[in-house]
Amino acid sequence: MRVLLCVLMLSATVLTQGTVLDRTPFEIPSYESIAGIERYASRVEYDAAARDSRFRLEKLAYRSGTLRVFAYLYAPVRSAVPQPAVIFNRGSFVRDEFAGEVLTIFHRLAQAGFVVLAPMYRQSGGGEGRDEMGGADLEDLMVTVDVVRALGIVDTRNLFMYGESRGGMMTYQAVRDGYPVRAAAMYGAFTDLRALLETTDEARAQAASIWPDFAANAEGIYRRRSALMWPEQLNTPLLILHGASDREVSPSQSLALAARLQQLGKPYELIVRDGANHSLSSWRVERDAYVADWFRRHMMPSTPQQ
């Protein structure tokens, strides 16, 4: 009886993976209320996105394992046919809300014809669990494939992924682990965690707070999160973007990975933008236009070719 009960409980857990639990409209914050918004958008850009009634921003809850976690959904108010989707992976560690920072990115991608789903990751936005910054929280990203399938508005043959900073690292891991994207793009992403943490004493101190077992398990933490250690597993076309003046993650990280991908004959494109910072903020409109074009170049036609 106990064995049967365990099997039933396990089956229920598997069945609820990626299940959308609820969806609610998300109120777009005011421009003035967002710290550092100048790095992401001008007031004109932001107001244009906030006032565009063609699209809606929602916050949805979904099941990741046994946890209730959250994501933002940015999609057309009306759409006659399913659209391709971009899974957007944000940067940083634990966050409350971050929709205001990325609203204009969502808006540009939506104008280009994509639905956008942005997982918040566990512990953020009211989500359950603990963010391990590329550990068990990767599951919150991996199960979004079930979320987009459940939405009914996405052309699931055309899924793409876009990551900023930490989100670029998450994107590399998702590609490695077989997330069914046709192409991916990232900017400001680290590819060698050891090299990143060894740059400053502050970075090393932060490691212990993010990963309590860091002292005992540093090698495992490095390997899991460092794409430079498993480039042979990156078979999805990658667009790697980096600011030449990035002071948070050295562009040498992207250059090193690109060199290995070149040696292995993997599909990729590398752009290091002269004078650009970590988020390529001075080139943000062109950045997202280039990414949208990259995705279109790898899109499956909407109808079978004769």
Q: Give pLDDT tens digits for 148-170.
A: 999 999 999 999 999 999 999 99
User: How many angstroms separate the CA atoms of 89 and 84, rounded?
Assistant: 16
Q: How far apart are CA 300 and CA 158, in angstroms?
A: 6
Whether pLDDT at 56 is above 80: yes
**pLDDT attached to residue 144:** 98
How would you list the strands of the sheet with 183-187, edge to edge?
Answer: 20-25, 55-64, 67-76, 115-119, 83-89, 154-164, 183-187, 238-243, 268-273
- 199 pLDDT more than 90: no
**188: three-class secondary structure by DSSP:** coil
The pLDDT confidence band at residue 119, using thresholds 50, 70 and 90, is: very high
pTM above 0.95, yes or no: no
- Contact at 8 Å (CB) between 243 and 280? yes
Q: Tens digit of pLDDT for each residue in 82-108?
A: 999 999 999 999 999 999 999 999 999
Q: Is CATH 3.40.718.10 correct for 20-297?
A: no
Q: Which residues of 166-188 are buried (b: 16+ CB within 10 A; e: fewer)?
A: bbbbbbbbbbbeebebbbbbbbb
Instruction: Please state the rounded mean pLDDT for residues 245-251.
Output: 96
The model's confidence at residue 198, banded by pLDDT at 50, 70 and 90, is confident
Assess contact for 167 and 91: CB atoms under 8 A: yes
